[in-house]
Amino acid sequence: MTWEDRIKDAAYTSPGGNRLTFDFEDLEVGWTHKTTAYDFANVNGTYIQSRGVSGRRFPMLCYFAGDECDVEADGFETLLAEPGFGRLEHPLYGSFDVVPFGEITRRDDLKSAANQVVIQVDFWQSLIEIYPSADKDLSGSVSASIDAFNAASAAQFERQIDLSGASDIVTFKDRVLSTLGSVQDKLRTIAKITEKANDQFNAVNDSINRGIDVLVHDPLTLAFQIKVGIQAPARANAAIRDRLKAYTNLAAEIYGRPDATTSDANLFLTREQFVGGYVSGLVVSVLNNQFETRGEALAAAASLLEQWDLYWAWRDANWAAIQALDTDAVPGASSLDTGEAYQALFDAVGLAAGYLVQISFTLKQERAIVLTRARTIIDLGFELYGQDFENKIDFFINSNEFTGSEILEIPRGRRVRYYV
């Protein structure tokens, strides 16, 4: 038996149970090792921690040919748009539970290859259930986890921080004010969009700045206020991409420092109050957003999980560096990490990510066409959206980032996204 004998038909079965075969050409598959690299001072070499592998990703060009190629392609698009988990029968690699991921592109080769339609789609292998199930009141469940995180993190910080010396207090105050200044710079524009969020953001920051000399002696209250202040802009009615980017950039300022992994316990503990706040800000952001498209929700989930992985690796590396010191160099029993804050934040991230994956199946799927001739926005918009386009003109322009000239006429060859 040769490799040609082992090739099977390619087919996709939708969540509704409808199966359709299609032709194909070259095939590929991709997957990722979930690994983290740790470099420790005075130790030659790098320790690689392996946390398993991702699901497989199958980018495919699906061909339909013949007199009925357009009808078959229409049917295939309908199957791809169904919410839920489908089944891919891959001609080489086997059968997998999959979700059509991201942008789907259709090309009708009317001139170069008559009687042929090509649909490009990425099938991603998916576990049917991975994240914790939320209660009916998802917002209440996540909010409870965030509240638990805020309280546990502040209590843990009070136990662990060592402010026994005058120099410790001065250094601690400078670090808090310096990092708080960066928070204000990056989140102020977002907070301003919603009056209530802006008022809370400013009130908390003003309280910390004015009362810092008192609050350094009350680390429990200070840590709690830091979290509340960081999370306030997440409830503003700003674009979700802007909110996620702001919190991600704040975290990157700490992860990217030369001393990101440190054995200075006070430095790490102070930074962790802010970094944990940034991750919780991402969670609060996605819970306070109305997602319109599947791609937008899945991108937010990916961003949230990526930041959780970065936070987890950064936190773990710092704890390892701190606990590698002689016990006399670490604040007594306060160096013990009970894990309460970590678990509460993990629950919040898991619930939020599961929620995003779940709702993505009910949201509009992104598709794209490549124009074979110049079109006007009105002409093309009504063709793609029907009469509902009257309510989607701004969304259509923004999602494609049309330039001024393109608003007058979209040129031939332009890739245009739309959602169904």
3-state helix/strand/coil string of 225-288: HHHHHHHHHHHCCCCHHHHHHHHHHHHHHHHCCCCCCCCCHHHHHHHHHHHHHHHHHHHHHHHC
Let me know whether 342 and 379 are in one domain: no
| Local confidence band at 337 (pLDDT 50, 70, 90 cut-offs) | low
Q: Assess if residue 287 is contained within a domain.
A: yes
Q: What is the mean pLDDT of residues 169-183?
A: 94
pTM of the predicted model as reported, rounded to 2 decimal places? 0.64
Which tens digits make up the pLDDT trace of 113-161?
778 899 999 998 886 554 444 445 566 788 888 999 999 999 999 988 9
258 in any annotated domain: yes
Residue where a domain terminates, one of 96, 125, 154: 125
* Comparison of pLDDT for 336 and 145, the residue scoring more: 145
What's the domain range around 395?
371-419
pLDDT tens digits for range 183-195? 999 999 999 999 9
pLDDT over 50 at 332, yes or no = no
User: What is the identity of the amino acid at 62?
Assistant: C
| pLDDT at 248 exceeding the cut of 60 | yes
What is the number of structural domains in the chain? 3
Does 183 share its domain with 113?
no
What is the pLDDT, as a whole number, of residue 42?
56
Backbone phi and psi for residue 83, each to the nearest 5 degrees, phi listed first: -75, 145
Assess if residue 339 is contained within a domain.
Answer: yes
Q: What is the mean pLDDT of residues 15-36?
A: 84
Least confident of 91-95, 171-175, 364-368: 364-368
Structural domain contains residue 365: no
In a domain, 130, yes or no: no
Asked if 164 and 308 sit in the same domain, the reply is yes
Report CA 155 to chain centroid distance, whole Å.
28
**Among residues 86, 102, 125, which one ends one of the domains?**
125
Q: Which residue has the higher pLDDT, 360 or 137?
A: 360
Residues 309 and 168 in one domain: yes
73 inside domain: yes
pLDDT of residue 51: 61
Higher pLDDT, 45 or 32: 32
113 membership: H or E segment, kind and range: none
Distance CA 413, CA 400 (A): 14
Q: Are residues 228 and 277 in the same domain?
A: yes
Region 241-253 average pLDDT: 94
**Does the structure show a pLDDT above 50 at 196?**
yes
